[in-house]
């Protein structure tokens, strides 16, 4: 690392209001060949990830997407394809299209089916990177539905299995969305099954920060806090969340998302830039189950009980989803801070597409 391993992160290169950042990202995606509608949907998803505090899945991903578009790993203007349709059970193919569009289309179909049948099970295969999985749980929550999502990542192996010393898995996220009644924020649990997501490695590298202790090993299997061990050859590996427990959950995500959906599992080396997601989603309508009112009452009682625990930190006890809601309120008011590397990456992407820096700067400033 160029900086001292415990140096503080550099100040942001630029603070951009959400609407201006959406216009900037939309301009880049549209110039790269997407329809205006697709570009708007991708921009909304990426900026919403930043608003939610998930910077690793926000606009910093866009240069990688555009590179995958040039190399054929991502295809613009693709639509969701229904492979098998059995009412409440549907398998789908994303045709390597923008995951932000494909995932939203899949959830819209799942919501429609859950309304009819009370439950829907979706097997989505072959989508380009889906982005922040919590966005799809939020889409279901807006419809009043419970949802559970298992995802695998067909990419370069990144995570060592428990008891192993090299990468054999990816960061395989899972997500749960649960309506908590009108008085509470919905529960939204969205996490990688590795100790940290790979985006956190890139973020640490950009900001000159060390990785958390116990997050990674180098190519020799030794503990390391240097993000470079994941970005330079020979590469190290991330470690699973919660040792054998997170490893077991990662394996379950791999098989549920990569095999049951009709997609692929990660069982051989992949090109470093490739990033295909498969996702198994289960949607449940509490109204059709007959427990919606009971769910709200019990969720409220449980939340009160848990949050009454004497605090050990200033924020006190928070339920999953509350940090994201707080981040959205704060960043809508204060703007989204982009670090120097993220801003430089957006400018570089614009240059490749023939958009001058001044034009992107004008968009960022609300012009």
Parse the chain into domains and list their residue ranges. Answer: 12-77+335-367, 80-194+242-331
With cut-offs at 50, 70 and 90, classify the pLDDT of residue 366.
Answer: confident
Q: Is residue 5 predicted with pLDDT exceeding 60?
A: no
Q: Is the pLDDT of residue 9 over 50?
A: no
Q: Per the structure block, which two tokens stand in for 114?
A: 């859950």
Q: Which CATH architecture has domain 12-77+335-367?
A: Orthogonal Bundle (1.10)
The string of pLDDT tens digits covering residues 134-182 is 999 999 999 999 999 999 999 989 999 999 999 999 999 999 999 999 8
> In whole numbers, what is the pLDDT of the chain averaged over residues?
94
169 vs 273: which has the higher pLDDT: 169
Q: What is the pLDDT of residue 367?
A: 60
- The mean pLDDT of 206-220, rounded to a whole number, is 94
**Residue in this structure with the two tokens 């490893």, named with its chain if needed:** 247
Q: What is the mean pLDDT of residues 50-74?
A: 95
Architecture of domain 80-194+242-331: 2-Layer Sandwich (3.30)
- pLDDT grade for 12, boundaries at 50, 70 and 90: low
Decide if 65 contacts 273 (C-beta within 8 A): no
Lowest mean pLDDT among 5-19, 32-46, 225-239, 283-297: 5-19
């Amino acid at each position: 690392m160029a900086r001292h391993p415990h140096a503080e992160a550099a100040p942001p290169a630029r603070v951009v209001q959400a609407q201006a950042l959406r216009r900037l990202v939309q301009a880049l995606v549209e110039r790269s060949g997407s329809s205006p509608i697709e570009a708007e949907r991708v921009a909304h998803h990426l900026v919403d990830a930043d608003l939610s505090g998930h910077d690793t899945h926000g606009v910093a991903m866009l240069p990688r997407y555009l590179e995958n578009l040039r190399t054929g790993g991502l295809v613009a203007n693709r639509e969701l394809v229904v492979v098998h349709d059995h009412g409440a059970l549907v398998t789908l193919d994303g045709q390597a299209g923008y995951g932000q569009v494909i995932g939203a289309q899949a959830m819209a179909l799942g919501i429609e089916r859950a309304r009819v049948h009370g439950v829907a099970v979706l097997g989505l295969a072959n989508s380009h990177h889906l982005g922040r999985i919590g966005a799809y749980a939020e889409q279901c929550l807006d419809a009043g539905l419970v949802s559970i999502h298992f995802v695998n990542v067909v990419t370069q192996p990144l995570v060592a299995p428990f008891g192993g010393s090299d990468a054999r898995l990816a960061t395989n996220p899972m997500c749960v969305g649960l309506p908590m009644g009108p008085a509470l924020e919905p529960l939204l649990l969205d996490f990688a099954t590795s100790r940290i997501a790979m985006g956190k490695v890139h973020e640490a590298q950009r900001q000159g920060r060390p990785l958390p202790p116990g997050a990674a090993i180098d190519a020799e299997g030794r503990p390391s806090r240097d993000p470079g061990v994941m970005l330079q050859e020979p590469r190290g590996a991330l470690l699973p969340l919660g040792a054998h427990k997170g490893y077991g959950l990662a394996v379950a995500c791999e098989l549920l998302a990569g095999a049951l959906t009709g997609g692929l599992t990660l069982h051989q080396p992949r090109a470093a830039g490739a990033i295909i997601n498969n996702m198994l989603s289960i949607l449940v309508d509490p109204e059709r189950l007959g427990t919606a009112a009971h769910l709200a009452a019990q969720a409220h009682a449980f939340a009160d009980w848990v949050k009454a625990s004497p605090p050990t930190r200033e924020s006190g006890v928070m339920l999953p989803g509350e940090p994201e809601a707080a981040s959205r309120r704060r960043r809508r008011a204060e703007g989204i801070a982009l670090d120097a590397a993220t801003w430089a990456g957006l400018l570089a992407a614009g240059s490749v597409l023939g958009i001058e820096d001044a034009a992107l700067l004008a968009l960022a400033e609300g012009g």
